[in-house]
Amino acid sequence: MKTFTDEVTIRIKSGRGGDGVVSFRREKYVPKGGPDGGDGGDGGDVVFVADRKIKSLYNLKLKRTFAAENGKPGQNKNKTGARGSDCIIKVPPGTIIRDKETGDLIADLTEDGQRVVLLKGGRGGLGNTHFATPVNRAPRIAKPGEPGKEKEVVLQLKLIADAGLVGLPNAGKSTLLSVLTKAKPKIGSYPFTTLSPNLGVLDYKDGEQFVIADIPGIIEGAHRGHGLGIKFLKHIERTRILLILIDLSVEDYIKNFDTVIEELRAYSHELASRDRIVVGTKADLVESKRIDDFSSSFKDEDVIIVSSATGFGIEKLKDTIARKLTENR
Ligand SMILES: Nc1nc2c(ncn2[C@@H]2O[C@H](COP(=O)(O)OP(=O)(O)OP(=O)(O)O)[C@@H](O)[C@H]2O)c(=O)[nH]1
Ligand SMILES: [Mg+2]
């Protein structure tokens, strides 16, 4: 089974430059031909490319060392050696690359197709042709290729979505994702059904599209490591709005809202104060009085009541998502 991986350390190496060579023309009837040693080819680069078909860093974890090819040495007749092939590493959009040693941010690949050359290959060395002078017409020197470079880098995936679904386990996050988008996440009547994030695309009016992220549920004490912890919140860090899902069919719905906000705050104050929609879920399971109580208990929040089972409130929710995203552009 492919496992979702959102952090991995790998070693990358660019190719060494090929050596320049010492060579002399050999032609019939020309006893002392001039120098004709070609240059070495450049070593290959290490290049990262964001590709939206790649969903996780899992494949990189299996290999760990990624090397570009060395340049080939020059040849006689002034032929330059072949350039080493680049090492192309495909990563999901949202991948951040840091230097392992210094912790410095090196690259942030946000857009599909974005390319970054992380390590240049060594340059090929010059062949002896370059060293001929009027006093030394037959130079016996050529330069070796430059060495390649090597580095350990830490890759971290932080998904990029417009809106993030947050809530306790079983709140109905994945079900809502499956209703808002064509995504088919795993849904279960037990907590912690979702173990890794899911993305879905909401097709709104006039061809407008919004990406929505569903993450594992968080519970009270998640910031102290309870449940699956809060590390998955990094996947909603790069969203513009949050949907806080509260299951109306359980008694503690108001307290549960506070719990979710507390855990968000423990992760990041900014995330806890990000623009949001409070979504009361599973409306089909409760009486209208509870719905009224819930709605009236929030003063300064946008509250939407939905049922993923009947479709109640879903269109209104889509409109609210679109409006909020426009406000937060
Ligand atoms: N009746 C009813 N049941 C719902 C509704 N939405 C979700 N459920 C049920 O609630 C349970 C939990 O749904 P999920 O979507 O898996 O919940 P989740 O928030 O993704 O849960 P985790 O992944 O564990 O965090 C499932 O049994 C769903 O069928 C709804 O609108 N009405
Ligand atoms: Mg889920």
Any idea where the domains of the chain sit in the sequence? 7-157, 163-327
Burial of 240 (0-12, 13-18, 19+ CB in 10 A): middle
Ligand nearest to the CA of 227: 1
Express the helix, strand and coil content of the chain in percent, nearest 5 each: 25, 25, 50
Q: Ligand 1 pocket check: which of 4, 165, 168, 170 to mutate, most ligand atoms within 8 Å of Cβ?
A: 170
Distance 257 CA to ligand 1 centre (A): 17
The residue whose CA is least distant from atom 23 of ligand 1 is 194
Q: What is the pLDDT of residue 324?
A: 96
The Cα–Cα gap between 41 and 83 comes to: 4
How far CA 34 is from CA of 61, 75, 140, in Å, comes to 52, 14, 11
Q: What is the pLDDT of residue 1?
A: 45
Which residues face 7 on adjacent strands?
156
Q: Same CATH topology for 7-157 and 163-327?
A: no
From the alpha carbon of 167, which atom of ligand 1 is closest? 19
The Cβ-side half-sphere exposure at 111, using a 13 Å CA radius, reads 4
Q: Spell out the alpha helix ranges (H) of the chain.
A: 58-63, 173-180, 253-267, 269-272, 288-296, 314-327
From the alpha carbon of 283, which atom of ligand 1 is closest? 31
Distance 125 CA to ligand 2 centre (A): 57
* CATH architecture classification, 7-157: Distorted Sandwich (2.70)
Q: What is the pLDDT of residue 299?
A: 84
Considering the entire predicted model, what is its pTM?
Answer: 0.83
From the alpha carbon of 186, which atom of ligand 1 is closest? 16
The Cα–Cα gap between 175 and 180 comes to: 9
Residues flanking ligand 1, CB < 6 Å: 167, 169-175, 187-189, 191-194, 216-217, 281-282, 284-285, 307-309
The domain 163-327 is placed in CATH, from the list 3.40.50.300, 3.40.640.10, 3.40.50.980, 3.40.50.150, at 3.40.50.300
Q: Which two tokens stand for residue 266?
A: 């423990």
Q: What is the pLDDT of residue 154?
A: 97
Distance 16 CA to ligand 2 centre (A): 48
The residue whose CA is least distant from atom 8 of ligand 1 is 172
The ranges of the chain with pLDDT < 50 are 1
The residue whose CA is least distant from atom 26 of ligand 1 is 189
